[in-house]
Amino acid sequence: MNKTKVVSRPSSSRKPMVLKAKIANKTRVVKLPARLSQRGENLRLQLFSDINFEGDRIVFNAGEVAVRDMRILGFNDVLSSFRMRNSDERREVSLVLFEDINYQGDFKIYRGSRNIRNLVDEGFNDLASSLVFVARRISNSRVRQIQRDRRPPGAVLEIRR
């Protein structure tokens, strides 16, 4: 049976951030730091464990987000396809996939709203262990700074262990 996990922003930015992961018919709640991004309210990211947008799925509806270690979501080294969009500014969105946890290792940057149905073709299938998803076009030099600092840019919500 395929599983879906949904990550949503709370209605009020004054409340602490809570990760609600719905797995099959059960909901798992993980408390996160109350460091919310004010950008990217119209961002959406869907990650799939299989090619062609199939298999287990994680949906992010929480604006800008970074995942330091995909193991917390049970999605380490399984990403095979994804959909990303910014419904306000289609070009102003970036997803950076990192091969290792803590934003380390080889990385691949995707810019602009897009659907990638097969990461095998991209040379990054089943490799992602951390990610950064933001409402702007991120440069290679900014990614290298993220790797040096070992933290996401600005006020991006970070999901970590």
**Mind listing the pLDDT tens digit for each residue in 84-128?**
998 778 788 999 999 999 999 999 999 999 999 999 999 999 999
What is the per-residue pLDDT for 88?
76
Question: Which residues, at least 6 apart from 96, have a Cβ–Cβ distance to it below 8 Å?
Answer: 103, 107, 108, 109, 110, 131, 132, 133, 138, 143, 146
What is the per-residue pLDDT for 115?
97
Q: Indicate which CATH number applies to the domain containing 59.
A: 2.60.20.10
Residue carrying the six token digits 């990650």: 47
What is the per-residue pLDDT for 155?
80
| Count of structural domains, the chain | 1
What is the per-residue pLDDT for 29?
42
Q: What whole-number distance in Å separates Cα of residue 152 and Cα of residue 160?
A: 11
CA distances 44 to 58, 76, 90, 100, 160, Å, are: 11, 20, 11, 23, 19
**Which range of residues forms the domain containing residue 93?**
4-159
Question: What is the phi/psi pair of residue 116, to 5°?
Answer: -110, 105
What is the per-residue pLDDT for 42?
79
CA distances 119 to 10, 60, 83, 146, Å, are: 31, 19, 12, 23
What is the per-residue pLDDT for 48?
94
H/E element holding 98? strand 94-100
CB-side exposure of 37: number of CA atoms within 13 Å?
26
CB-side exposure of 158: number of CA atoms within 13 Å?
15
Instruction: Note the pLDDT tens digit of each residue in 20-63.
Output: 554 443 434 444 444 444 566 778 999 999 999 999 999 888 68
- Give me the mean pLDDT over the 120-144 stretch: 96
